[in-house]
A and B are shown apart, each in its own frame.
Chain A
Amino acid sequence: MPRDQLDGLAIKPLSSEPAPRQRAGLQGWIRRLLILLACLWLIVGVLLPLGEVFEKATTLELQIAIEEPTEEQKTKDPFRGEIRTAGYSILLMEEQGHGVLYLNNRRIDEDVLKDDNLQVTFSDGRLDQVIIHSAIPPGQTERMAIKPVVIERHADGHWLIDGHPFPLGNSVRTVTRFIGFANFMYYFGIHDLTQKQFAGALFLLAVAGFLLLRMLGDFFISKNKSVRTWYLPAAVILLLAGQVIASGQLLYSHSGHTNLAQSTWNSLMVAFTTTLVAVVLAFIYAYGLTRTKMGGKMLFRVVAMLPLFAPTMLYGLSLVYLFGNQGLVTTGFFDKFPWLAWDINLYGFTGIVLAEIAFTFPPAMMILSVALAHTDARLYEASSSLGAGRIRTFFMVTLPGVKYGLLSAVFVCFTLSFTDFGAPKIVGGHFNVLAVDIYKQVVGQQNFGLGATVSLILLAPTLLAFVADRIVQRRSHAAVTARSVPLLPVSLPWRDRLYTLLCGLIAMAILAILFTAGIGSFVKIWPYGFSHPEIYPQLWTLQHYQFEGVGGGGFRAFFTSLRMAGYTALFGTIITFISAYLIEKTRDAQRLRQSAYLLSIVPLALPGLVIGIAYVFFFNKPTFSLPFIDLQIGNPFTFIYGTMAILVLSNIVHFYTVSFLTATTALRQLDKEFEVVSESMAVPFYRTFLRVTVPVCFPAIVEIAAYYFVSAMATVSAVIFLYNSHLPLASVAVVSMDDAGDTAAAAAMCMLIVAVNILVRLGAEGICWLFAGKTRQWRQK
């Protein structure tokens, strides 16, 4: 029977009617507007500032100063004007009724002076035109060619720069010129290579690296080697092999050794070493917690989380107290046990790596313990029933089962230790790493171009790790299904004792690295209070907690930090949760929601320093030039520069992704039909949001707020570029007090931060506990 004659149909001629579009209604428009806002704030808070870093790294700022005397001055003085730019001074003097031109104090007699760098046109005692062909980037020594800057006199007496009128009188104007990779080439000491060659060689190496990585990934991860994943990349690499080798050689042969590039290598070495050690330790610890029946697991768990509450400077300070020149271990417990004295050469590589291990241990441990806890006991039963031994089971079942968690932990450790600023600042000594380099370039030398360049170099491996992690995690679904049987550890005395010992040692090390500085902060004069009690009878004191006579702002800084952390927690939680709700739970504007989701993941890849430097550039910039049409518009966001708002914004962005993912996970556990049911009953979405979504997700919201607060208290990297004397911050004070040699005061400030963070954490736990008690009725199953 033809379909057209079926029962119950209305016969209508086939027409090419357009797809009907649902009317959105007021609610729909409110939702769309909110989603748009969720996108926009991330664009302003993340993308535009990042773009600014990229622009600063690839452009040269050329200052042009033109000084002209007034008519009154002309009667008294032979000075007739000066143009200063790009390392040149072009001075016009009146000598015996004639205009005489001096270039860098050398008299010029020709009418047109022209060389590779500069062209000056001078006629009838008047300076007509100056064209600059080259400039020296700040901090560098070599001139480089740039797109010419034309400074010329207009008929009405004005000066024009590149055709734009220059304000009358004494003034300075900045023009920017695109210089491409010049900063990068300078950084890595690459000479005699055109930018095109440099970029091409880099591109080829990147393509080859990407294909190689992909092949390796497929080799280890997927079993079926298809044309697309295996043979095709291999063929491309073979085809490119000659070129790739040539580009490597080209870069190598033209690169000279620079002190600057050394820090890239240093940072990589630190990151690799830290990752290796931290992941192994974290694995042992997590294995002990999840797969053995050792005692005191709760205590071990708490101790492992403690480092999360401290600024990374604290580990540096503790290491100084332990292994520094006057350290507990270095001096053999203050010469009491001289035979125990051990100098590990703390300052430099060793110190940084030790501090970074403490810093990266907690997150790695958390990821691995989650991965190890999510397993299927049936696999182990199958393995032992097939006669596999303990070691074979470990390599064939345990490791493959946690491979995604392991990779994630590796990426997290690498990223954190590669970009950390606090610890290297304290114990780095002369061992330069990228993060400290950026700080030195920007704060010390005011060389923003190179600062931006180093930021991008810092960002590159982080971004790679981030992208790799995303790709890996995408494949990691459904390893454990609803039918899995949880693995319950069995008692095995020798193993449990071994793990108690190992975990105990690690926990002791964590406690030592956390609290030695704490003890130090109570000691009046370290180490002589211990070694020479006869000269310094008073050993213990609270004076370091008064912050008198030390820089950094003392308690004012501490309270500003508290305020900042409070605002960050408040606004961060609101923005994060609402954004996550809109992205996860609404049906409108799908494209917009997808972009908002992607934008929300990006901050995870951004080191705090890069956020800080990006904000300095972006929120300081008076005008934007719109692309393509070259229109200048005022920057509407500059008003927050130098205020609490920019500090809070930078913190929210810095810690956004983790909070966002926490919120998303909590929201995904809610029935996805709540919104539809309310909508069908014509209940506004915000009512259901407030009445159902927020109460049900309350524990996650408290968790997010606590995370924001604790992180904002401890962080130093983003805010170190953004604080000012009106808004001193505790974590920045730690850095400046340590710089000034007030180690005990710096340790005291760290201890205050840790104490507040632990209190906030306990408060959050308490609130969740109360909430659980109140809502037991509807939570019971």
Chain B
Amino acid sequence: MNKKAPKTSVTTDDYFLEVRRLTKRFGTFTALDTVNIGVQPGEFVSILGPSGCGKTTLLRIIAGLEQQNSGSVWIQGKDVSCEPVANRHLGIVFQSYALFPNISIMNNVQYGLRQMTAPARRERAREMLELVGLSDQADKYPAQLSGGQQQRVALARALAPNPSLLLLDEPLSALDARVRARLRGEIRSIQEKLGVTTIMVTHDQEEALTMADRIVVMDQGQLMQFAAPQQLYGAPANTFVAGFIGTMNFLPDCRHQSASTVRFLDYSLETRPAESRSAPEQTTTLAIRPEHVRIAVAQEHSSNTLRARVEQIEFRGSVSRVMTRLLHYAGHPSAHQIEIDLQPKAVDQLKLDSRHDLEIYLPPKHLLAFSDNSTGAGDQSHAA
């Protein structure tokens, strides 16, 4: 890439971090396939995906720990692809904390502040420890702290040199569930207080959904969707995202009849209008979340109503999940299943139990349609 180009090629966007057409191969295995991401200043972005999807590779390339095969990384409008790690002004926090075991907490936090004077260094370290709420632990050694405390020290150490970008590599995976839940909120509030742009890699979708402003969903080295959590959940871009975030019912092998009507088994279903026009007779996969499926009580809906048979009911506290098998119109069972989330009270009222036949209603505004040939890595095997 031409070194003089940056000024002209960064035009309209005010991205803080930008990743352009990033490709990384390990031998014949493609870890990243032309990935593009733009991150706004102060944004908290989470990279989410199943293991082996390339999310850690993406983080390591942004950090400069790995060298991409092509593409570039831009930080604050500067191409840093050729800069070594030290020149990128990053704070990195790893899953393993990587605290220096033979150095006290105080000195661990001071470690990256070599250019300051000693008093300024101490002042800054104390400030950071206060920020993470560990000022009273300053003279201890890492091994004397709990896992959650150690991770907060690691965060303080990473933030002490005032990095322009904070990278978190699965920061909470080594902690137990309770500590993890508490630290989520703490990390997020510290990040908001300092306004530091943050990238976090995680395989835990709950972590990503609760912490991030926007989420990068990846699969097999490809960017699946980059959007806010609500959008990922409500309007997934493809079947992979739909199946990966939350639970989703899939109705595969549907045929389009018109722009918003499809044929599934021997039913005709109306869907939310698809953003991209699909040719008639093209196969489509429909998807709907369990909480959006309703029980049709008294023939109130004529269309979008399917017959189903209850197979199993799972009690999950606030909701009960009813597993049903779809029946053909004539009444014999099909190969498809639908999960429905109902209030436990409703289950009682309807007197649902196994082998109970009922009619379910799929509201058109919640019924998503995915054309089968534009979903990339999307795949029916992710059906819940």
Contacts and interface: CB of A to CB of B under 8 A. Distances in A.
A9 B222 CA distance: 13
Interface in B93-113: 94, 96-98, 100-103, 111-112
A549 interface: no
Interface string A1-34: 1110011111010100111111111011000000
Interface string B51-77: 000000000000111011110100000
Contact of A677 (B9, B92, B144, B227): B92
Given A21-B67, A23-B83, A677-B92, A696 B20 contact: no
B161 interface: yes
A778 interface: yes
B67 A20 contact: yes
A676 B92 contact: yes
B159 to A, nearest CB: 11
B82 to A, nearest CB: 5
Contacts of B72: 20
A587 interface: yes
B346 to A, nearest CB: 36
A781 interface: yes
A688 B68 CA distance: 27
B86 A20 contact: no
B374 A680 contact: no
A682 B112 contact: yes
A686 interface: no
A25 B86 contact: yes
Given A6-B36, A19-B70, A683-B114, 18 more contacts: A1-B276, A3-B34, A3-B376, A8-B37, A8-B38, A8-B214, A10-B18, A12-B20, A19-B67, A22-B67, A25-B87, A676-B92, A677-B157, A677-B158, A680-B158, A681-B157, A692-B100, A692-B102
A680 B63 contact: yes
Contacts of B203: none
Contact of B36 (A8, A673, A781): A8
Nearest to B142: A778
Contacts of A1: 237-238, 275-276, 374
A775 interface: yes
Interface string A570-608: 000000000000000001000000000000000000000
Contacts of B94: 671, 673, 676-677
| A9, A21, A25, A692: residue with the most chain B Cβ atoms closer than 10 Å | A9
B38 A20 contact: no
A1 B368 CA distance: 13
B225 interface: yes
Contacts of B114: 682-683
Residue from the set A674, A682, A779 with the largest chain B CB neighbour count within 10 Å: A682
Contacts of B157: 677, 681
Given A671-B98, A678-B111, A10 B36 contact: yes
A19 B67 CA distance: 8
Given A19-B68, A27-B86, A778-B141, A673 B238 contact: no
Contacts of A20: 1, 67-68, 70, 72, 81-82
B250 interface: no
A725 interface: no
A432 to B, nearest CB: 52
A20 B223 CA distance: 21
Contacts of B9: 12
A23 B3 CA distance: 14
Interface in B258-311: 275-276
Contacts of A106: none
A295 interface: no
A385 interface: no
Contacts of A9: 36-38, 226
A258 to B, nearest CB: 52
A780 B98 contact: no
A691 B84 contact: no
Interface in B169-219: 214
Contacts of A548: none
Interface in A754-781: 775, 777-781
Given A676-B98, A680-B86, A778-B101, A10 B38 contact: yes
Contact of A21 (B82, B87, B223, B238): B82
Given A1-B238, A9-B37, A680-B90, A22 B111 contact: no
Nearest to A1: B237
B21 interface: yes
A162 interface: no
19 contacts: A6-B226, A6-B237, A9-B38, A10-B20, A17-B70, A22-B64, A22-B83, A24-B84, A25-B86, A674-B100, A677-B157, A681-B86, A681-B112, A691-B103, A695-B102, A775-B102, A778-B101, A778-B143, A780-B143
A7 B227 contact: yes
Interface string B1-19: 1000000010001010010
Of residues A7, A12, A14, A775, which shows the largest number of chain B Cβ atoms within 10 Å of its Cβ? A7
Contacts of B384: none
Contacts of A779: 101, 143
A777 B102 CA distance: 9
Nearest to B69: A19
A2 B375 CA distance: 8
B85 interface: yes
A679 interface: yes
Nearest to B107: A691
Nearest to B102: A695
B229 interface: no
Nearest to B141: A778
B150 to A, nearest CB: 11
Contacts of A587: 65
B223 A6 contact: yes
A676 B142 contact: no
A735 to B, nearest CB: 46
Contacts of A679: 84-86
Nearest to A28: B84
Contacts of B275: 1
A12 B18 CA distance: 13
Nearest to A8: B38
Q: Which 4 A-B pairs have the closest CB atoms?
A: A681-B112, A9-B36, A778-B141, A673-B98
Interface centre among B18, B68, B98, B163 (most CB of A within 10 A): B98
A17 B68 CA distance: 12
Contacts of B39: 8
A683 B222 CA distance: 34
Contact of A3 (B67, B87, B223): B223
B91 interface: yes
Nearest to A675: B98
Contacts of B1: 17, 20
Interface string B234-265: 00011000000000000000000000000000
B281 to A, nearest CB: 21
Q: Which of B9, B18, B86, B92 has the most CB of A within 10 A?
A: B86
A22 B100 contact: no
Which of A1, A12, A688 has the most CB atoms of chain B within a 10 A radius of its CB?
A1
Nearest to A4: B36
Given A1-B374, A27-B86, A696 B18 contact: no
Nearest to A695: B102
Contacts of B37: 8-9
Contacts of B70: 17-20
A711 to B, nearest CB: 29
Contact of A673 (B96, B144, B214): B96
B9 to A, nearest CB: 8
Given A23-B82, A692-B103, A12 B222 contact: no
Contacts of A680: 63, 85-86, 88, 90-92, 112, 158, 163
